C-alpha cells in the first residue's frame, strides 16, 4: 500500500486576478509563501520517500518548504509542470469570455471544446495515469508528495479514479490543498480531497 500526496502550490497574484497561468512562471504572493510554510509545518512528521515538484517557481518554492521541514530531497519533474492553456494563458476569465463565446462550454465539460493551441487533456490524463502507477509501484509502501498545479492535479485524480474529462470541474482544489491517493492491489482509492486544515493555524 502506497500513498501519493497531491499538493497544489501557494497563492499567486494571478490566482487572485482569476488569470489563467498554465506554463507561465508566476510567483507566490506573501500569503502564498505563508501558506507554503503552514503546509510544511503540518506535514513535518510525514515520512516521504520522494517529493516531486513542477519546475515552475510557484510549485518549486512551495515544495522547498516541505522538503526543508521533512528533510526529504525535492526532485523537479517536468511530468508535473502545469498544462498549457494555449491562447488563454495570461487572460482573466472575463477577458476570455469576451473573446471566446464558447468558454462556458469548456467550463462545463472540457471534452466538448479544446482551447486554441492548448495541451490535449485526454492525452495528458493518459500520460499521468502511467506516471502515477510508476511512482506508486516504486514507492514500495512509502509516501510520495507531488507539488503541482490545479490542472495537473485534476487530471491526475481523473486518471487515478478512471473518470472521464467531463468530471474535470467536480474537484475543488484550493491553494496548498492536500489530496491523497491510496494505491493498493493495483487500484487507486481517493483517501483525502482538498484538505486545507493547516491554513486554520494562520
pLDDT tens digits for range 42-70: 999 999 999 999 999 999 999 999 999 99
Residue 202 predicted with pLDDT over 70: no
Residue 140 confidence (pLDDT):
84
**Distance of alpha carbon 66 from alpha carbon 43, whole angstroms:** 7
Query: For residue 156, which of 135, 140, 186, 184 has the smallest C-alpha distance?
Result: 135
CA atoms within 13 Å, Cβ hemisphere of 52: 20
What's the pTM?
0.96
Among the options 9, 11, 124, 198, which is catalytic?
Answer: 9
- Residue 102: the pLDDT is 87
Burial 46-73 (b: 16+ CB within 10 A, else e): eebbbbbbbebebbbbbbbbbbebbebe
What does each C-alpha distance from 100 to 6, 87, 103, 106 come to in angstroms? 31, 10, 6, 10
For this structure, is 98 an active site residue?
Answer: no
Q: Determine the average pLDDT of the residues in 11-36.
A: 97
> What CA–CA distance (Å, rounded) separates 179 from 145?
10
Mean of pLDDT values over 132-139: 95
Asked about 76 being catalytic, the answer comes back as no
Phi first, then psi, for residue 179 (nearest 5°) are -120, 135
Choose the catalytic residue: 11, 82, 89, 124.
Answer: 82
Taking CA atoms, 138 is separated from 50, 127, 166, in Å, by: 10, 17, 30
Q: Which residue has the cell 492535479?
A: 153
For 152, the 3-state DSSP assignment is helix
Domains and CATH numbers, the chain: 2-201 (3.40.50.1240)
Amino acid at each position: 500500500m502506497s500513498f501519493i500526496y497531491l499538493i497544489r502550490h501557494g497563492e499567486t497574484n494571478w490566482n487572485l486576478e482569476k488569470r489563467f497561468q498554465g506554463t507561465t512562471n508566476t510567483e507566490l504572493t506573501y500569503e502564498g509563501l505563508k501558506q507554503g510554510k503552514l503546509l510544511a509545518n503540518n506535514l513535518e512528521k510525514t515520512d516521504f520517500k520522494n517529493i516531486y515538484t513542477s519546475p515552475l517557481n510557484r510549485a518549486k518554492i512551495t515544495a522547498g518548504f516541505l522538503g526543508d521541514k521533512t528533510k526529504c530531497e525535492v526532485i523537479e519533474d517536468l511530468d508535473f509542470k502545469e498544462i498549457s492553456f494555449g491562447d488563454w494563458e495570461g487572460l482573466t476569465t472575463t477577458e476570455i469570455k469576451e473573446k471566446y463565446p464558447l468558454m462556458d462550454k469548456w467550463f462545463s465539460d472540457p471534452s466538448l471544446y479544446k482551447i486554441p493551441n492548448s495541451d490535449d487533456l485526454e492525452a495528458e490524463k493518459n500520460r499521468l495515469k502511467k506516471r502515477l502507477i510508476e511512482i506508486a509501484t516504486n514507492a514500495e509502501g512509502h509516501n510520495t508528495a507531488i507539488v503541482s498545479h490545479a490542472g495537473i492535479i485534476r487530471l491526475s485524480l481523473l486518471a487515478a479514479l478512471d473518470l472521464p474529462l467531463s468530471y474535470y470541474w467536480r474537484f475543488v482544489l484550493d491553494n496548498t490543498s492536500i489530496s491523497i491517493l491510496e494505491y493498493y492491489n493495483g487500484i487507486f482509492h481517493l483517501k483525502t480531497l482538498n484538505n486545507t486544515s493547516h491554513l486554520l493555524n494562520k
